[in-house]
Amino acid sequence: MANDDPNPYYREPPTAPETAASAGVEEIGTAACWKLVEANSLGRLAIQSIDGRPDLFPLNYLVHEGSVFMKSAPGAKLRSLAGHPDVALEIDGVDGAFQWSIVIRGNATRMDTDADIEASGILTLASDSPTAKHNYVRLVPDTVTGRRFPVRSPSSTRRNVPSASTSGRRARDEHVDQGASGARTADKPQPIPHLPPWGG
């Protein structure tokens, strides 16, 4: 006999799913993307590492004549770029009531001439990392895309999860039985509700 009360996990949602547009997500034009990128100096470089797996490096950068320039210490990053120069650089931030994210995809190669290095201005770039960096990388963009969306209040994005202090206070306030010996016995947990299987 069919179950008249179907499993709630199989029910259709009451409303249509929220789309990017209905959530207030907006595309950022190329010129506006570059303004945001130029106004910042910290990004995350995504590369394919030498073992074939993706890797991510936070780093400082600067923009000069349509390219992005970065410093690097010797190591896995430079070895990976030599074999897999296709990369993505992500930069994000908050602008008033909006959060934004820019992704630059392109080709990153190590610079090897003093004239190019000096002309780029990379020698003046300050790095937040204490590691000495005497290698210089140029990222020539293929695409620059960006999106922005309203900053949501913590109450709108946080699930109703009790904090540690609330949980402890609730535990102390719960009913506890006192046995004849005075030992404290916690209440039994309530069983998880479930529905019978289909066609039962």
And the tokens for 98?
Answer: 């909006």
**Contact between 65 and 72 (Cβ < 8 Å):** no
Does residue 104 belong to any structural domain of this protein? yes
Does residue 194 belong to any structural domain of this protein? no
pLDDT given at position 152: 78
Q: What domain range includes position 43?
A: 26-150
pLDDT given at position 188: 58
Summarize the confidence of residues 67-90 as an average pLDDT: 94
Does residue 21 belong to any structural domain of this protein? no
pLDDT given at position 141: 98
Does residue 102 belong to any structural domain of this protein? yes
DSSP the chain: ---SS--GGGSPPSSPPPPTTTTT-EEE-HHHHHHHHHT--EEEEEEE-TTSSEEEEEEEEEEETTEEEEEE-SSHHHHHHHH--EEEEEEEEEETTEEEEEEEEEEEEE---HHHHHHHTGGG---SS-S---EEEEEEEEEEEEEEEEPPPHHHHS-S---HHHHHHHHHHS-EEE-TT--EEEPPPPPPP--PPTT-
**126 vs 189, which has greater pLDDT?**
126
Summarize the confidence of residues 173-184 as an average pLDDT: 46
Does residue 4 belong to any structural domain of this protein? no
Number of domains observed in the structure of the chain:
1
Mean pLDDT, the chain, whole residue set: 80
Percent over 70 (pLDDT), the chain: 66
| Model confidence band, residue 50 (pLDDT cutoffs 50, 70, 90) | confident
pLDDT given at position 199: 47
Does residue 67 belong to any structural domain of this protein? yes
Whole-prediction pTM: 0.66
Does residue 99 belong to any structural domain of this protein? yes
> For residue 189, is pLDDT > 90?
no
pLDDT given at position 200: 43
Q: What is the pLDDT of residues 1-36, one digit of tens each?
A: 555 666 777 766 666 666 666 677 899 999 999 999
CATH number at residue 32: 2.30.110.10
pLDDT given at position 59: 95
> For residue 100, is pLDDT > 80?
yes
Q: What is the pLDDT of residues 112-160, one digit of tens each?
A: 999 999 999 999 998 888 888 999 999 999 999 999 999 876 554 444 4
Does residue 100 belong to any structural domain of this protein? yes
Summarize the confidence of residues 105-110 as an average pLDDT: 97
pLDDT given at position 162: 43
